[in-house]
Amino acid sequence: MEGDRIPWAEDGIYLPERPSFTLDPAFHAGAYYVQEASSMVLEEILKQVVNLKENLLALDLCAAPGGKSTHIQSLLSDGSLLVSNEVIKTRANILAENLTKWGFPNVVITNNDPSHFDRLNVQFDVIVVDAPCSGEGLFRREPEAMNEWSPEAVKLCATRQQRILADIWPALKPGGVLIYSTCTYNSLENEENLEWLSEQLDAEGISINLNDDWGFAETETRGIKGFHAYPHKVKGEGFFIAAVRKNDGFEKKLRKQKKPMNFASKQEIGTVSQWLKEPEQFDFIKHNDLFIALPNQWKEVIHDINSNLYIISEGIDIGRLKGKKLIPNEGLAFSTALDHNQLSTFELNLEEALNYLRKENFNFEAMNNGWNLITYQGLGLGWANRIQQRVNNYYPTNWRIRISS
């Protein structure tokens, strides 16, 4: 894609027009993610407040549909772990689809209330809270949002935001960083919440400096800097962001879990790991009949999360065994850990790829018998299984494209 660079996001670009992403197979393959430019300033904030070269335990608390999680994941080191959470079940499923297609193995997707994270035996190095808000920053893009705005709604949002912050604060380790953001303008949901953080949770500000040429308006509340993006000054929609450090609290110790993990046998590992680039980096467990690969340095932390929270997915969902044959899971097709050289791949052109994504017929005469990774421009789209003169399309039905052109 071509466009002007977004100065505060290294890989971000402004699109000159909005194409039909639905009809671009590369979008469905997780080659890129579309989000609002102002919110991408999260990248610059993260670079200034944490050492991204370290192996961090990070939490994106209000993560759906996945823009900030995919962005954060792209910035974290390969040895880090991101927990991406969404409290609303239907939105959590959308989050899971988008992060599955993003393809990184060091992600856990959860569906929990913020208060539930206090159950964990571990604490996070960094927590991002993109809080539900009154949405004043979206009025230009979505004028109908003005009909839902009221002073009472603003007060309700501010109270809810404080509850979210209070509930998640114990899950942040001492010295850890919390990044707070909204897509609204008013001081009640922004500066006054920073004041509340300072007074009630003893949060302290962090030195942050943004380039003046970018147009963000700096504000300061009790030593905590915040930054507003106003559409007439920043090339983007309305946004607010700030970062604080935790002074007090105690660091939890990881306790032994009561319920042991169900590890795969050596024989099973030999089969389920055959298509991975570096299988030695993973531990393989079974959840019912699904085999999952967990980054071995985080398996105890993931087990702690799994024991105390509701998990949608963790690591790489490899697939199931039928006899001695692997039936691959859809998530494996997108994984950055998948070695395309170890399996049969079948490349499609644009028209064929769109037919595959619609679960319609496409030309498979040259396809090998057995399991094939379906690709478009070398990107994994999903699986198909050829059995003689027929082919079974394993693209998930609930993901399929429903428009013709």
Is 24 marked as a binding-site residue?
A: no
Is 145 marked as a binding-site residue?
A: no
Is 86 marked as a binding-site residue?
A: yes
Torsion angle in degrees (nearest 10) through CA of 384, 387, 390, 391: 0
* Distance of alpha carbon 123 from alpha carbon 102, whole angstroms: 25
One-letter amino acid for residue 363 of the chain: N
Sign of CA dihedral 221, 226, 231, 234: positive
Q: Which two tokens stand for residue 105?
A: 């193995």
DSSP state of 31: S
* Distance of alpha carbon 139 from alpha carbon 158, whole angstroms: 19
How far is CA 235 from each of CA 229, 238, 239, 281, rounded to the nearest angstrom? 9, 10, 11, 42
* Distance of alpha carbon 246 from alpha carbon 250, whole angstroms: 10
- Spot the catalytic one: 183, 309, 337, 373: 183
Is 67 marked as a binding-site residue?
A: yes
* Residue 133 annotated in active site: no
Is 268 marked as a binding-site residue?
A: no
Q: If you write DSSP's letter for every residue of 36-96 in order, what string do you get?
A: -TGGGGHHHHHHHHS-TTS--EEEESS-TTSHHHHHHHHHS-TT-EEEEE-SSHHHHHHHH
Is 130 marked as a binding-site residue?
A: yes
Contact 285, 294 (CB under 8 A): yes
Determine how many CB atoms are found less than 10 A away from the CB of residue 187.
16
Is 304 marked as a binding-site residue?
A: no
Torsion angle in degrees (nearest 10) through CA of 312, 89, 33, 356: 80
Is 65 marked as a binding-site residue?
A: yes
| Angle at the Cα of 240 from the Cα atoms of 236 and 241, rounded to 5 degrees | 115
* Distance of alpha carbon 252 from alpha carbon 324, whole angstroms: 42
Is 62 marked as a binding-site residue?
A: yes
| Exposure string over 374-395, b if 16+ CB within 10 A, otherwise e | bbbeebbbbbbbbeeeebebbb
Indicate the annotated binding residues: 62-68, 86, 113, 130
- Which residues are identified as catalytic? 183
Indicate the annotated binding residues for S-adenosyl-L-methionine: 62-68, 86, 113, 130
